[in-house]
């Protein structure tokens, strides 16, 4: 006779310890990020780097715009995907110091889908396209860098000069920017 109760208990114990498969079960966030990354369709101006190939929740994105103010620049972003993903937006930070209305000097990014407009149906692909769009069309109406936003609004030519000066490596006002041209 099969001892059904003991089999159920053994299965619960195996699931709790991960013994049934020999490793821990993947979390909902890991399953979703795996799906998102498998379906990722990067534009030619973007690439990803996984410092730890076993950790899909932390990776880097490199954007190298081929048009607009930031043409020929190379900008690196870090993505930290929490266990609450896809219900919580990933944390994205720009590692490259950039003169941009929507990215402050600490690397914080002002992109609506990373904050109040995040929805679980959005994917990593959506975020990447949103970041790329910020380089094509900076938004001075929702700034993190108010000085850059004001310059873009009031004197587009001076803004463009500041962007180029910062990407070449140099000072804009009293702030020094590392070279980020490819």
| Nearest to 63, CA basis, from 136, 145, 123, 144 | 136
- In a domain, residue 41? The reply is yes
- In a domain, residue 130? The reply is yes
- Residue 145 in contact with residue 102, Cβ under 8 Å? yes
- In a domain, residue 44? The reply is yes
CATH number, domain with residue 109: 3.10.110.10
3-state secondary structure labels for all residues of 74-105: CEEEEEECCCCCCCCCCEEEECCCCCECCECC
Instruction: Kindly report, residue by residue over 4-13, the tens digit of the pLDDT.
Output: 444 445 555 5
Instruction: Kindly report, residue by residue over 94-112, the tens digit of the pLDDT.
Output: 999 999 999 999 999 999 9
pTM: 0.85
Query: In angstroms, rounded to a whole number, what is the distance separating the alpha carbons of residues 14 and 98?
Result: 50
- In a domain, residue 142? The reply is yes
- In a domain, residue 119? The reply is yes
Confidence of residue 23 (pLDDT cuts 50, 70, 90): low
pLDDT at 1: 41
Total number of domains constituting the chain: 1
Given the residues 46, 94, 110, 180, the one annotated as active site:
110
Residue-range definition of the domain harbouring residue 125: 26-177
pLDDT at 182: 85
| Nearest to 107, CA basis, from 178, 1, 30, 49 | 178
Mean pLDDT of 22-40: 88
- In a domain, residue 19? The reply is no
Instruction: Kindly report, residue by residue over 56-98, the tens digit of the pLDDT.
Output: 999 999 999 999 999 999 999 999 999 999 999 999 999 999 9
- In a domain, residue 70? The reply is yes
Active site residue 94: no
């Amino acid at each position: 006779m099969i001892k059904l109760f003991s089999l159920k208990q053994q299965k619960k114990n195996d699931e709790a310890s991960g013994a049934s498969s020999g490793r821990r079960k993947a979390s909902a966030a890991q399953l979703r990020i795996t799906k998102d990354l498998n379906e990722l369709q990067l534009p030619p101006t973007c690439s990803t780097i996984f410092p730890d190939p076993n950790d899909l929740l932390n990776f880097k994105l490199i954007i190298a715009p081929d048009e607009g103010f930031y043409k020929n620049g190379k900008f690196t972003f870090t993505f930290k995907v929490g266990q609450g993903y896809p219900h919580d937006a990933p944390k994205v930070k720009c590692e490259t110091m950039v003169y941009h209305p929507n990215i402050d000097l600490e690397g914080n990014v002002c992109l609506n889908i990373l904050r109040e407009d995040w929805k679980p149906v959005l994917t990593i692909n959506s975020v990447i396209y949103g970041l790329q769009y910020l380089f094509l069309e900076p938004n001075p109406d929702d700034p993190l860098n108010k000085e850059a936003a004001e310059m873009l609004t009031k004197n587009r030519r001076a803004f463009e000069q500041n962007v180029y000066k910062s990407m070449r490596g140099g000072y804009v006002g009293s702030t020094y920017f590392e070279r980020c041209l490819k």
